[in-house]
Amino acid sequence: MRYLKPYQQDFPYTVGHGDLTLHLDEEGSADILEPISALLAQRGSGTLRRGISGCMSGVRSRLFVKTVELESLPSRLRVTLGRQRRIGGYDWPIAELMNSVDAWRQGAPVPRLRGFGYRRQGLFPVRELFLISDMLDEHVDGRFWLTQPQMQIEAFLQGAFALIRELYEKQVCHLDLWAGNIMLDPQRLDAMKVVDLENCYIGHPPYWSEALGFQFAFLFLRLVQNHIDEARYDNLVYAALDQYPGIDRVNFERVYSLCKHQQISRKKRRDLLLTGNLQLRG
Ligand SMILES: Nc1ncnc2c1ncn2[C@@H]1O[C@H](COP(=O)(O)OP(=O)(O)O)[C@@H](O)[C@H]1O
Ligand SMILES: [Mg+2]
């Protein structure tokens, strides 16, 4: 997959077994090949579902492995040949791979990608992709944290808002920033990290105010709204906005007030930060 060369440079260590190839950051990570191969063999016998993510341990390494099966032939062909989708952008797992590397290079609070891989039989198209990153031990995700009796919603939100702010400073705009994609160490709520970077814009998006309006709204819409009333959430958001002096409050508000109550598709989120327009219908 030649088009991934600029990314492959970070992963110069290549290992393989059967139809599986892994490109890894260092020789020390290569011990992950065996447990992944064992998992695939087990799955072959039909006992495990496809597309899994979780912690895997080699003799020395402990890594988080996410696998994505490419279901359709067009998707397999695009990923193999490095083509983009008709609506623009790479297929999600390729976008996630690229965004993860780019975000890390910009110093964003994300787990480091340690390698990637794919399954491909001979010259047939790639069937499945693997993303391998640092395992965030001591962390839980925000979805889980919100169910815990000791959770305090405002402390959680201060941490999450600090995360949005840090991503802003590092110029990483995450368009799927809900509690399930936020990782936190319960002992250190001020140092959260974000995962699942498939739908991200890396760099300074043309419409940051609208993008921020979407991010704060989306966090509320998925889960957080069950834990805090809306007026209180608004107050916390408006206080947090004081740290963004260049923000256009009118455009922020337009998107924020709409998206707090309405799901918008991944494509529309992307259009929003590129054009500033939010097409809710059609
Ligand atoms: N590097 C990591 N270390 C530990 N757990 C992780 C890591 N990345 C993701 N997770 C956990 O796995 C879950 C699913 O990962 P995610 O990347 O969000 O995949 P999906 O596309 O399935 O939502 C997350 O909600 C989180 O609980
Ligand atoms: Mg996720």
Separation of CA 242 and ligand 1 centre (Å): 31
CB distance 61 to ligand 1 below 6 Å: no
CB distance 180 to ligand 1 below 6 Å: yes
Separation of CA 35 and ligand 1 centre (Å): 19
64-89: average pLDDT: 92
Ligand 1 nearest atom to the CA of residue 139, by list position = 4
Q: How far is CA 180 from CA 63, 91, 100, 196, in A?
A: 19, 21, 17, 9
Number of the ligand closest to the Cα of 112: 1
Which of 268, 108, 85 lies closest to 172 in space, CA to CA? 108
Separation of CA 34 and ligand 1 centre (Å): 21
Task: Report the alpha-carbon distance of residue 205 to residue 193 in Å, rounded.
Answer: 21
R_g of the chain, CA atoms, integer Å: 20
| Between residues 71 and 261, the one the model is more confident about | 261
Structure confidence at residue 281 (pLDDT): 63
Q: In the chain, what is the greatest distance between 2 CA atoms, to the nearest angstrom?
A: 58
For the chain, which residues make up each domain, given as ranges?
2-134, 140-275
Task: Report the alpha-carbon distance of residue 98 to residue 194 in Å, rounded.
Answer: 15
Structure confidence at residue 45 (pLDDT): 65
CB distance 142 to ligand 1 below 6 Å: no
Separation of CA 1 and ligand 2 centre (Å): 26
Q: Is the pLDDT of residue 49 over 90?
A: no
Give per-residue pLDDT as tens, 130-157.
999 999 999 999 999 999 999 999 999 9
Structure tokens at 126: 């790639």
Residues 6 or more apart whose CB falls under 8 angstroms from that of 122 comprise: none
Give per-residue pLDDT as tens, 258-277.
999 999 998 899 999 999 99
DSSP 95-121: HHHHHHHHHHHTT-SSPPEEEEEEE--
Q: Is the pLDDT of residue 97 over 60?
A: yes
Give per-residue pLDDT as tens, 165-210.
999 999 999 999 999 999 999 999 999 999 999 999 999 999 999 9
Query: For the whole model, what pTM was predicted?
Result: 0.95
CB distance 109 to ligand 1 below 6 Å: no
Q: Is the pLDDT of residue 233 over 60?
A: yes
Number of the ligand closest to the Cα of 183: 1
Separation of CA 177 and ligand 1 centre (Å): 12
Which of 6, 16, 111, 105 lies closest to 62 in space, CA to CA? 111
By the 10 Å C-beta count (0-12 exposed, 13-18 middle, 19+ buried), 181 is classed as buried
CATH 1.10.510: does it fit domain 140-275? yes
User: Nearest residue CA, atom 22 of ligand 1?
Assistant: 53
Separation of CA 245 and ligand 2 centre (Å): 30
Cβ pair 96, 196 in contact under 8 A:
yes
Cβ pair 243, 166 in contact under 8 A:
no
Which of 169, 177, 176, 171 lies closest to 203 in space, CA to CA? 171
